[in-house]
A and B are shown apart, each in its own frame.
Chain A
Amino acid sequence: MRSLTMQCKAEMLRIVRNPYYVFWSLLMPIMFYFIFTRVVNTGDSDPTWAAHYLMSMAAFSVMGSAIMTLGIRLVQERTQGWTTFIRITPLPGYVYFLGKMFGQTMMHLFSIICIFAAGYLINGVSLSTAQWLLCGLWLLVGSLPFLAMGTLVGSMKRVDTASGVSNAVYMALAITGGMWMPLEILPRLMQKIGVWLPSYNYGNGAWQIVQGSHPEWSNILILLGYLAVFMILSVYIRKQQEAV
C-alpha cells in the first residue's frame, strides 16, 4: 500500500513539474478557445457555441495528454532503462501501472478544471452544476480508450517515432472528430468516417450534456469498443516484446 501511495505521489510530482504539460495541455487549448470564440467571428456568437467549443477544447486537451504524454513517457522510461530497473525491484507491475494511471487522471482532472474556469472567465459560459460535473466526469472516464492508445504508443521503440506518430494521430483525430470545428461543416465523407472515430464520440458525449441532453448509447459503445481493441493490442504487443 505504501508503495502505491508513493508511486502515485511521484507520478503526480513528475507531471506537475513538466513544463511541456502546461504548454500543450493547458495553454494551447485555452488559446484556441479564446481565438475561436472571441477573435475569429464565427457568425454565431451565441452562448451555445461558447459552451460547445469549451467542451471540444477540454476533450482535445485530455485526449492529447492521454495519448502523447503517457505514450512518450513510457517510451522514455524504457529507453532510459528505468523500466528495467523497476522490473528488478519487488514493485508489482500493476502498482507501477496504477501509479501511471493515477498521475494521468489527476492531470486530466486539473486540465478540465482549468479549461472550464477559462470558459467561465473568457465567455461567461454558464451551465448548471450538474452539467459541469457530468461533463467533467464524462471527460475523465471517457479518456480511458485514449489512455489505452497511449500505452500502445508507449510500446514503440524510439522516442522520436512515438512522438511523431502520436502527434499525427492526435491531430488527425482532433480534426476528423470535430474538435477543432464542428463535424457538420466538414465534407460529407469525413463526416461519415468521423462518427465512427473515438474522438467524435468522446466529444459528442460532452456536447450532448451542454445541450441539456445526455451522451448517446452509441458514444458509450463505440468508446468501449475502442478501449477493448487498444487494450488487447497493447497487452499482446507487450507479451511479444517480453518473450525474449
Chain B
Amino acid sequence: METVIAMNVVSKVFKGKKAVDNISFKIYKGSITAILGPNGAGKTTAILMMLGLLEPTEGSVTIFGQHPKDKSVREKTGSMLQEVSVMDRLKVKEIISLISSYYQYPMDQKLLVEATGLDPADLNRYAEKLSGGQKRSLGFALALAGDPELLFFDEPTVGLDITARRRFWEKVRGLAEQGKTILFTTHYLPEAEDIADRILLFNRGSLAADGSPDEIKARIVKRSLSFLQPADGLDLQQKLLTLPSIDGCYYKDGRIFVTTEDTDEALRDIFTAGLPVKDVRIDQGRLDEAFEQLTMNQEGAV
C-alpha cells in the first residue's frame, strides 16, 4: 500500500498547552479516513499541520513523502477548511477559473461547475451573495480545482441540512471510487461510521483509537449479557462477579445483566462454572452511546 500521509510522533504545543500529543499514523492511498473526536480534541490542529499551515512542535509530517509545503504536494492536494469565506466582488465562474489557473493540471471546468451543483443563473452571481450552503458547495468545487489525489475536509457538513449532507457524502464516495485519498474531521459519529473505512479517534490531543468502524466499536463499546432472574438471584449475581471476564452485574426488569469486554469469553466462563443461567441474550451497546460516554469522561476530567 502506498503511503500518502505519514504523521511521525507529532506534537503541537500552544502556549504551554498540548493541542496534539505524540500522534503517529499513516494514511494509505485510496482510503477514506475520519478523524473523530469532540470539540477541542486536536482534530483541526492535526489537519493544519498536514496542510503545512502549522509547524509541529515535535515530530514530522510528510505528505507523498515530502514536506507539506512542497509545491508538488500542493499540486496534488485539495482542501475544504472551516471558516473560509469566498473572495468578494468576483462571480462564481470567475473564482472557479481563477483557482483552476493556480494548478498545473486543473480539473475540467465543466466538471468543476457540475461539482458546485449550482444553477447556471447562480454561476453569474457574485460569490459573496450566495447562501451559506451554496458557498460550501463552491468551496467543495474549489477543493477539486487541481484534480487532487488527496482531499482534506475539515468539518465539512457543519451547518448543512440533511439533503445537502447526503449529497455531499455521495460526491465524496464518488471521489473515493476514483482512487482519491480522503481525510475528514467530524464530531458527528454516524458520519464517521457510515462514510469512513477507518476512524482515528482523537481524545484530548492523543489518538485514543485507530481502526475500522467495527474495530473501534468493539474497542469502545461495552457489550452485555442478560439472563432471566432465577429464584436465588442474589447468589447468582455474586457468583457471576467472581468471574474474571465480567466487569459488572446489575438487575433490571426481571433480568440480570452483566457487562463485559468480551461476550464470548464471558459465556465460556459462565458455562465452565456451571452457573444456572436461562434465556441468554447478547446485547450490543451502541457506538454513539459509547462515544458520548467517552466525551463526557473527557469533560468530567477537565
Contact = CB atoms under 8 A, between A and B. Distances in A.
Given A77-B87, A80-B84, A90-B103, 7 more contacts: A80-B85, A88-B51, A88-B53, A88-B74, A89-B74, A89-B145, A244-B54
B101 A81 contact: no
Contact of B90 (A14, A80, A88): A14
Given A14-B87, A82-B84, A88 B77 contact: yes
A11 B78 CA distance: 23
A149 B54 CA distance: 27
A89 B146 contact: yes
Interface string B84-111: 1111111000100111011110000000
Contacts of A22: none
Interface stretch (A2-10, A201-209, A211-219): A2-10
Q: Which 6 A-B pairs have the closest CB atoms?
A: A81-B84, A80-B85, A6-B101, A90-B74, A14-B89, A91-B102
A17 interface: yes
A25 B90 CA distance: 21
A84 interface: yes
Describe A's contact surface by its main secondary structure.
helix
B153 to A, nearest CB: 13
State the main secondary structure of chain B at its contact with A. Answer: loop
B79 interface: yes
Number of chain B interface residues as a range: 20 to 34
A84 B101 contact: no
A20 to B, nearest CB: 11
B185 to A, nearest CB: 15
A85 B81 contact: yes
Contacts of A85: 79, 81, 84, 142
Interface residues of A, number: 23
A87 B84 CA distance: 12
B299 interface: no
A13 interface: yes
Given A10-B94, A13-B90, A90-B146, A3 B101 contact: yes
Contacts of B75: 90
Contacts of B86: 82
A91 B98 CA distance: 11
B71 interface: yes
A85 B124 CA distance: 22
B269 interface: no
Contact of B94 (A13, A82, A88): A13
B52 interface: yes
Contacts of B85: 80-82
A88 B79 contact: yes
A18 interface: yes
Contacts of A6: 97-98, 101
